[in-house]
Amino acid sequence: MVTFDRDLDCLVEGLAEHGTPAHAVTPAGLEAFLAGLPPAQAAFLRQTGFAGKAGAVALLPGEAGIEGAVLGLGEQAGVGPEIFGALPRALPAGSRWRLGSGFADPEMAVLGWCLGAYRFDALRQAPRPAPVLVLGAGEAPVARSAARATWLVRDLVNCPANLLGPAELANAAAAALAARGVAATVIADDALDRAYPTIAAVGRGSARKPRVLTAHWQGSGAGPESPLVSLCGKGVCFDTGGYDLKTASGMLRMKKDMAGAATALGLACMIIEADLPLRLALRLGCVENSVSGDAMRPLDVITTRRGLRVEVGNTDAEGRLVLCDLLAEAADEHPALLADFATLTGAARVALGPDLPALFSNDDAAAGIVLAAAEREHDFVYRLPLWSSYDLWLESNVADLNNVSDKPHAGAIVAALFLQRFIPASCRWLHFDVYGWNDQSRPGRPEGGEAQAMRAVFAGVRMMFADGRVSS
């Protein structure tokens, strides 16, 4: 059985001298670094060709064996945390280390270490123990929180769909919240059918019935009038495409179609652990899009929670149907900020590739703060427009709107415009169309599930409401 929300076993608290030093160096600083080493170690690095290239790791030999390690940072200024993730992947399993020289930002280095040490081995009989970094008690709290949330997101996304259906996803989210002192409600069956008819319609084709998780929390420094931040996540545990069936290759990664819900959950955990002075609402739509005699069909018409009737132009555009009822309910609470996360469109990936989530927003100030936070956190997003002229493309001949356009263009924008139909203009809204996956392993980014935009939005929320950058 997979355990989610696990401890960071790549960190250990203790005395610094109990760890072997790991150093970091740029090519420009290499000669000065070599001059400070014992001559034999300096000669060893020179002879092996170590040049401080980004992500390069060399071990420093000594009389007792390995006496240190050095990580190349490369020549690019302002490196992000991922580069430090090269260290745990290159160091001996189970070894103990401490940060040596060259780490200008220890919090970022600790975060990067944890990002690189992550592995999804819950289904292996013989997991490989990670090297551990020795920290002082309570050191790097923000990095630890971000790393643990990232591990939670990655574990959920990496878990096979036969082990993580709608009920399991909702229960895992409820357990993570309970571990932080927050009670959640899991809605199912008739109550879900009444409150979230579009989620019910998407889930009708699967034997594994949908769930909606809702939770509310208030920081210790917040009151009833404090700003409300509302988060929604698309949790499609597997997406066949429904009757508009995906190809075999198109289904290979569809266990990751719940990455939006996982990311919203991870962000909620970070906000709670930081005890930000605000109120928080979380809604996750947990469902499977499958094929059966009960599944929704192309050209069916569904009545949404908002009362709008939607013609199903394509059953594989189910993510916006999962989100629209959640967003409608969330907007009715008049949040100071409403943010949703979803692996919504392939069009966003065509436009921006796998590494850049698309951001859509109806509020320039909020979007600008998140974009600035994303740069600072090295958790990048890119803003795309809510181009109103394309809104006409959602017209239907038989219902209030269609869930897709018959045009082959601007698919990510059209999906965002569909969601905007369910949000009042007065509601400050951020929509993130994420990929939620690393196609190949890189330092700090192992192949598999990924938490995209989570750190950026956490920093943005803190800037908006804890630092008072925007009005509530």
Catalytic residue positions, numbered: 246, 320
Helix (H, G, I), strand (E, B) or coil at 407: coil
Amino acid sitting at position 214: T
Q: What is the per-residue DSSP string for 163-200?
A: T--HHHHHHHHHHHHHTTT--EEEE-HHHHHHH-HHHH
User: Rounded CA gap, 447 and 449, in Å?
Assistant: 7
Cα–Cα distance for residue pair 342/168, rounded to 1 Å:
19
**What are the CA-CA distances from residue 93 to residues 88, 124, 127, 133 (Å)?**
8, 16, 11, 12
The label of the residue with tokens 């400070």 reads 36
User: Judging by DSSP bridges, how do beta strands 279-289 and 228-239 pair with one another?
Assistant: parallel
Token pair listed for 385: 């427009």
Q: What is the DSSP letter of 396?
A: -
CB 165 within 8 A of CB 258: no
3-state secondary structure of 127: coil
Q: Which helix (H) or strand (E) holds 66?
A: strand 65-72
CA 359 to chain centre: 14
Is residue 233 within 8 A of residue 284, CB to CB? The reply is yes
**Six token digits for residue 403:** 């869930």
Q: Between β-strands 337-342 and 429-433, what pairing exists: parallel, antiparallel or unpaired?
A: parallel
* C-alpha 373: how far from chain center: 15
Beta bridge partners of 66: 61
